[in-house]
Structure 1
Amino acid sequence: MRAYFYLCLFLCVGLSALAQNPEIRKSFYFEVNETELQAEQIKSLQQLLDTLPSERILGFQVNAYCDGPGSKAHNEALGQGRILSLQNEIQKQFADSLINHQNFADEGQPDSLYENSQRRVDLIIQLAPEPDFGPDIAELLQQLCPPPQVFDINPFKDTILKGKGGSIIHIPAKAFSNVSPKEKVRIEFTEVITKSDMLLNNLSTSSNGRMLESGGMFKVEALQGQRKLKLRKRKELTFYIPSEKSLPNAQIFNGNQHDSLANINWTRTNGSTLQSTSMNDFLWCCSLGRNPLPCNFWCRMWGSLGFNQQPGRIRSSRRTGAEDISCGAFENFMKKYKVDNVEELMLAINSNREGETPIETYKELYVYLRNEERKETEAKIANGSIDASDLNYYIFNNAQLGWINIDAFSNWDASKLTTLNIPLRPANHVDVKMVFKNRNSILPPNTYRRGNFFYKDIPKGEPVNIIATKYVNGKSYIATQDYIIGEKLGELQFEEVSLEGIKAILEEMNS
């Protein structure tokens, strides 16, 4: 017959539980005449003990109960054996002096929720109240969080919005349900592109414990007055998101709305297909005389994307029937070779390619110029002078409002993963983040390990910044430390910094 083990729901997960509850309770259940804890119970007990803030522990109380049948001496021996089994496990981490109560009752009060509830040991962990540091870290994070961009739209018309970071959202007409025709809809849009953006919005990059690398996070909310709207069935928003590079194997993730203390967990979105292309990909296809819908969209959007000039037009008799076509993609090369049309461009290029097979067809010219364009783009990225037209764009539809993330899983060799203890006690006035230098990834810590924040399954050798913030009696403090995962981490040194000072420090994480 299996041993029954139940975790009391008196223990609430998270910092707030420890702050609000002066004691933690947990019960262990036994079969008839059994005194030893089962392996799963020992594991669960050790996990609980790992989470305890040791400096706040006042003591452990252990109460054993038996059911009615059997003599008092027999039941007392069972109870004492069960207490000893629990006490031995506690002593592996804490001194005997903390186990200040060991009680045995002949017969426990039955609990209708649990079978065999009278054959049990109750563990009660008594905690000192957490010191009062004034408003918790949530208030500081709220002060740091930038406001969203706001747009007022007519919900019955097709709308295209451009964010300050270059992101574009297409909202189809009649996209929202239960809309009043007499009021405009307010769109609140948040773009989170850089690491400092993530930190200021208290965001991180993990999905069910697995590390992610972000290609951009976005939040879209629609409101009429104070009422939040939802998308109608079979209605989707279309996103066009600029990026200097495309993440291999990137996917779309959604995150549930969270409060300022919780770390968001990203989950993969079903039904959204992510494509990656560039502005010039569309302009090239327009230049070739092919005008599918995406090309037409980008040609119409040219001005609103912030480019300084409209794409030019050229005339070519080769493979185009001498028709007028859009030529934004050829414009730079025509200026470079100081020519006016494609025929002259082809001749100029061939004159500089002596000894090589001449370019004779429009397709060959296309392939050659695309290769040249990529070389130039790589050079621009290297020296930091990339232009908006060189950026890649992620394109996807999404049928859900709220937080959206373009992410790719970071896969590491299991042999290269390690655990890191942060020498900092968790409390409701403290926040910690690990910022990866070579990838767009930020990880929150696990809440406790032997009373400290800790990180599990992180890759050795990766350079990171450890950033910790504290909010004590209305004053903000920050500590940062460069760190190579796997090496020894020094003590975090906090200094008092203004809100603007914190923002400036976080801005440095982008370099």
Structure 2
Amino acid sequence: MKATGKVFILGAVVFSAILFSCGSDADNKGKEGENKTDSLAQADVELMNAGKNGIAGVYQLISERLGPTKETFVIDQTKDSVITCAKGTKLFIEANSLVLEDGSAPKEKVTVEVQEFYSKKDFFAAQLATVSNGVMLESGGMVNVSATSGSQKLELGSGKEMAVLFPRSGNADQKDVFYGSKDSVGNMNWDQNPSSVNNSVDTSATKKEKRMITVYNTLEWFGVIENAIVVDKPPFDNDLAKVIQNFANHFDDNFKPSKKLVKEGLQNGTDFHATLKFDKSGKVSSVKFKPGDAVLQEEISGYLKKMPKIEIPGKEDKLSKCEYDFHFGRRTSQKASQVEAKDLSPFRKKVLKEISNAEVEYYVLSSANLGWINCDKFYNTPGEKTNFFVNTQGAEDTRVFLLFNDIKSGMNGGIVGSGRFSFPNLPVGYAVKVIAISTENGNPKLATAETKVSTSGYELQEFKSFSMDKLDQELGLLK
């Protein structure tokens, strides 16, 4: 029902383990949402109360108290509207492009609500990981956009687009639009396919978009294997984890998809899941796929079973007692070149006419959806990568978030054992800040550390009770 904002010639598969009132001639400067009048001291009382509801309750309060303010705008649905938000984001909404869920036009006034996320503090407060199906992203900003008419939700109509303009930060690197969705525990994932966030797609509106066509000339495969499901609960073993990662690296370096797989297995944006087991000899003994593409199952399963065996003397029993959870998803290649074409779609022409210097001062992205929208690029760096493990010494009901010092990127740690969290496929030697919060007996506690990504991981110590003011100060130190 909606249109994608880019034209992709060739995609790639991620092999990852996980596990936007007025008429067209004026900007609407929009008022900020309700002021946060309660003091942080009052929030501390609420913090203790939130702790009684576990870690989810604590992060809900953090998001409300320390997250960016929501802005509301009332627009005239019968005219093109340009919205300017507090942090610089601009939204171009075409006349009559917003509809009710049944496709009919709204009869009451239209209200658009926008929340902008540009700083690392924003990322942490909302737990916005910059990850696309397990692959690290560098963000140029994120927004969450919703629209209502009366009490009814609105969406973009069939074949309609919304332009989202993110301020450029001084560099001219290319960024693309990503659509976000959260899982049951609040972990954010970003995907370039709008259908990944449960919306159908009609690509007819963008078939004539030729201004920025991304040409991909290589098909890339990435692998991260992570001990995610444990049978009989053997103790976590760092040596075993390293050997498993080497196995994944071998897949990265050697697997070449057949033409059949490229043609048939990558035609849609479906995610694929599988569970992998090894026998005591170190060979892959089973690859169990959840419902997915038959070509993908046959080819990848066959290749994995033919890979060299894992040799880890004395730990064969541990190896065979673990299951390894895989999440397969499609993403675009990192090796891209931009092709300039003469023709512009009517929609893009309209955006560039209404917003002066748009392509100089902004990343101009076309979005097929409302909701979570990210201006990102895949972060690709040469050099060694590793599964970076953070040990919280068994702290229960804990979440760990990692932020890079020199990159606008962050991610949630995946639980791989009691108090142990994994951050897959990170560049070794990069400076990071680790922030962990737990609720010990309902009492919220905080632990932070400055460190570097290493193969040896990091022991996070000294969880202490904290105030919202203390957390606010800590987040204010982020670069």
Task: Give the TM-score normalised by the residue count of structure 2.
Answer: 0.52
1:78-89 → structure 2 map (5 Å cutoff): none
SS in 2 for 1:501: helix
Q: Which among 188, 203, 211 is matched to residue 128 of structure 2?
A: 203
- The aligned counterpart of 1:228 is 153
CA contact (8 A) 1:419 1:457 kept: yes
CA distance in structure 2 between the partners assigned to 1:141 and 1:452 by the alignment? 19
Q: Quick one: distance in 2 between partners of 1:257 and 1:224?
A: 25
Q: 2:432 aligns with which of 461, 464, 476?
A: 464
Which of residues 168, 186, 190 in structure 2 aligns to 1:266? 190
1:181 and 1:256 map into 2 onto residues whose CA distance is 26
* 1:176 alignment partner, one of 89, 98, 106: 98
Instruction: Give the direction of change, closer, same or farther, for the CA distance of 1:224–1:469 in structure 2 (3 Å limit).
Output: same
Unaligned runs of 5+ in 1: 1-46, 52-132, 277-291, 303-389
Aligned position for 1:185 = 110
Which residue identity is paired with 1:297? Answer: E
In the aligned structure 2, how far is the partner of 1:428 from the partner of 1:254? 32
Match of 1:482 in 2: 450
- Cα distance between partner residues in 1 of 2:399 and 2:109: 39
- In structure 2, the partner of 1:396 is 365
Deviations 1:19-65 (A, max 9, x none): xxxxxxxxxxxxxxxxxxxxxxxxxxxx99xx9xxxxxxxxxxxxxx
CA offsets 1:154-194 (integer angstroms, 9 cap, x no match) = 32222211111011101111111236654212211111111
Alpha carbons of structure 1 residues 402 and 426: separation in structure 2 relative to 1, 3 Å: farther
Deviation per CA, 1:183-225, whole angstroms, max 9, x where unpaired? 2122111111111111111101111111111111111111223
**Superposition deviation, residue 403 in structure 1:** 0.6
Amino acid at match of 2:387: T
1:93-132 matches, within 5 Å, as: none
More strand by share: 2
Q: Which amino acid aligns with 1:242?
A: P
Aligned equivalent of 2:421: 453
- One-letter code of the match for 1:136? G
Letter of the structure 2 residue corresponding to residue 505 of structure 1: E
Change (3 A) 1:475 1:275: farther
CA gap 1:231/1:496 in 2 versus in 1, 3 angstroms: same
Matching residue of 1:297? 354
> How far apart in 1 are the matches of 2:386 and 2:132?
18
Distance in 1 of aligned mates of 2:431 and 2:82: 40
Q: SS in structure 2 opposite 1:196?
A: helix
TM superposition shift of 1:246? 3.7
C-alpha displacement at 1:295, in angstroms? Answer: 6.4
Quick one: distance in 2 between partners of 1:160 and 1:430?
Answer: 42
Which structure shows the bigger proportion of residues in helix conformation?
Answer: 1
Shift of 1:489: 2.4
Rounded Cα–Cα distance in structure 2 between residues aligned with 1:190 and 1:426: 35
1:373 aligns with: none
Q: Which residue of 1 aligns with 2:469?
A: 500
Relative to structure 1, the CA distance from residue 174 to residue 488 in structure 2 (aligned partners, 3 Å threshold; closer, same or farther) is closer
Q: Is structure 2 residue 170 aligned with structure 1 residue 245?
A: yes
Following the alignment from structure 2 to structure 1, what is the Cα–Cα distance between the partners of residues 72 and 60? 18
- State the one-letter code of the partner of 1:141: Y
Q: CA deviation at 1:275?
A: 6.5
Query: Is 1:436–2:404 an aligned residue pair?
Result: yes
Distance 2:350 2:148 in 1: 31
| Cα displacement (A) at 1:409 | 1.1
The residue aligned with 1:311 is none
1:428 and 1:224, CA in 2 relative to 1: closer, same or farther beyond 3 A? Answer: farther
Report the Cα offset of residue 245 of structure 1.
2.9
- Residue number among 151, 175, 182 corresponding to 2:73 in the alignment: 151
Alignment deviations for residues 210-249 of structure 1 (CA, whole Å, 9 cap, x no partner): 1111111111111223422111112111122112134634
Distance, in Å, in 2 between the alignment partners of 1:293 and 1:232 is 18
Q: Distance in 1 between matches of 2:178 and 2:120?
A: 18
In 1: Cα distance, 2:159 partner to 2:60 partner: 35
C-alpha separation in 2, matches of 1:275 and 1:162? 24
Q: Are 2:411 and 1:411 aligned?
A: no
Choose 178-187 or 395-404, whichever is displaced more. 178-187
1:315-394 aligned at under 5 Å gives the runs: 392-394=361-363
Mapped contact 1:238–1:398 kept (Cα < 8 A): yes
Tell me how far 1:459 sits from its aligned partner.
Answer: 1.2
CA contact (8 A) 1:237 1:397 kept: yes
Shift in CA distance, 484/155, structure 1 to aligned 2, threshold 3 Å = same
Instruction: Determine which of 69, 83, 87 is the counterpart of 1:165.
Output: 87
**In 1, are the aligned partners of 2:156 and 2:369 still within 8 Å (CA)?**
yes
Q: Distance in 2 between matches of 1:214 and 1:151?
A: 25
Quote how far apart the aligned CAs of 1:391 are: 7.9
Q: Distance in 2 between matches of 1:457 and 1:171?
A: 38
1:139: Cα distance to partner? 1.4
Taking the aligned partners of 1:416 and 1:478, their CA distance within structure 2 comes to 31
Figure out how many residues of one structure are paired with residues of the other and give that number: 277
Kindly state the Cα deviation for residue 401 of structure 1 after the two structures are TM-superposed. Answer: 0.9
RMSD of equivalent CA atoms: 3.4
Do 1:137 and 1:430's aligned partners in 2 also have CA atoms closer than 8 Å?
A: yes
Instruction: Give, in whole Å, the separation in 1 of the partners of 2:58 and 2:151.
Output: 25
Deviating more after overlay: 439-448 vs 481-490: 481-490
8 Å contact kept, 2:399–2:438: yes
The amino acid that maps onto 1:410 is: Y
The letter of the residue matching 1:398 is: S
* Stretches of structure 2 lacking an aligned partner (at least 5 in a row): 1-16, 20-50, 195-202, 214-348
**In structure 1, how many angstroms separate the alpha carbons of the residues matched to 2:190 and 2:167?**
21
TM-score, scaled to structure 1: 0.49
What SS does structure 2 have at the residue aligned with 1:213?
A: strand
Which fold has the larger relative contact order, with Cα–Cα distance below 8 Å and residues 6 or more apart in sequence?
2
Identity in percent? 27
